[in-house]
Structure 1
């Protein structure tokens, strides 16, 4: 098992930090080797992550569910998947929370989680996990700080209510963005007169 317990200091207001960490697209942009895949009807989404353990490069694919509590500025991520060759399976959970940090005139992001591995590469991955996790957290923290300092706000999302997964309005994958763009385009083209086709 791989345990994760990290705290990241970000010199930006909690509201701005929450905007970033609650958006899967923004979070993935802060992780080297990570990509978002398809969104599913239950609110989950696919994701991939390429990680290097020593001289071995492993590509993991996972089904991810994200639960958000906006009033508390906290969330929980659950992932389950395997490596590209199917030799190693994993399941993991991570809880995160954004709080104000008056001393640093910014915010703190607390992250606690664990990953369970089974299969051929489990022992190798676990033996090198400490160094890999430390490196990834450092890279993520630097990118998060940069992203939160960006004055351009993220696209507003619908309020999040407690649920077992992200509501469709919260998901910002390519399909969701395309549907939103298409809806706006249709609205712009529609005239006040209702045609028979529109009825």
Structure 2
């Protein structure tokens, strides 16, 4: 069994974060290798996830049910499926909640869940589960933060050089925007 206990800090208000994490299409867009499939009459939907274990890639297909409590900003997810070759079956359950963060306009997303595997790939998947969950959490967090920030968001820079480049870009864009006091002085000075 794979246990998941993650907490993600997001520099956006809880309402905005909830808009993203309560939308299956938005969540799938935050997960590398995931795709959303057909929606069913009972509210469930199909989904696929390609996961890389070392040099091997495994595609899992699942039927996913999502139960949301908007007033509490919490949800529950249940999934059942198998890998593309049918050798490994899984069931997964998870609960998530969006709460206020430490500062204004900050949120926390808490996720608790478990995945049970049966079949020939189960030992391989379980042996690399810790590293896989950590990697997927980092990738999901970066995408979630970017989506919550809006259309003009940029992927988080990596390393000191990337942070310097991002700072320099912001600095130059602020210098190129005319200030309101300068605009009013030039427009009013010609009369």
Number of residue equivalences: 152
Normalised to the residue count of structure 2, the TM-score between the two structures is 0.78
- Residue 100 of structure 2 corresponds to which residue in structure 1? 100
CA distance in 2 between counterparts of 1:102 and 1:96 reads 18
Q: CA deviation at 1:140?
A: 0.2
Q: How does 1:84-123 map to 2 (within 5 A)?
A: 84-103=84-103, 105-123=105-123
Higher helix share: 2
Q: Deviations over 1:44-71 (max 9, x none)?
A: 0000000011121000000000000000
Pick the structure with greater CA Rg: 2
CA distance in 2 between counterparts of 1:145 and 1:41 reads 32
Q: Secondary structure of the equivalent of 1:103?
A: coil
- Residue 81 of structure 1 corresponds to which residue in structure 2? 81
Q: Secondary structure of the equivalent of 1:71?
A: helix
Q: Secondary structure of the equivalent of 1:110?
A: strand
CA distance in 2 between counterparts of 1:113 and 1:99 reads 18
Q: Deviations over 1:100-125 (max 9, x none)?
A: 01336400000000000000000010
Q: Which has the higher contact order (CA 8 A, sep 6+)?
A: 1
**Large movers: runs of 4+ above 6 Å:** none
Q: Deviations over 1:10-69 (max 9, x none)?
A: 000000000000000000000000000001111100000000111210000000000000
CA distance in 2 between counterparts of 1:50 and 1:124 reads 15
- Residue 27 of structure 1 corresponds to which residue in structure 2? 27
Structure 1: gaps of 5 or more residues: 153-199
Structure 2: gaps of 5 or more residues: 153-191
CA RMSD across the alignment: 1.2
Q: Secondary structure of the equivalent of 2:32?
A: coil
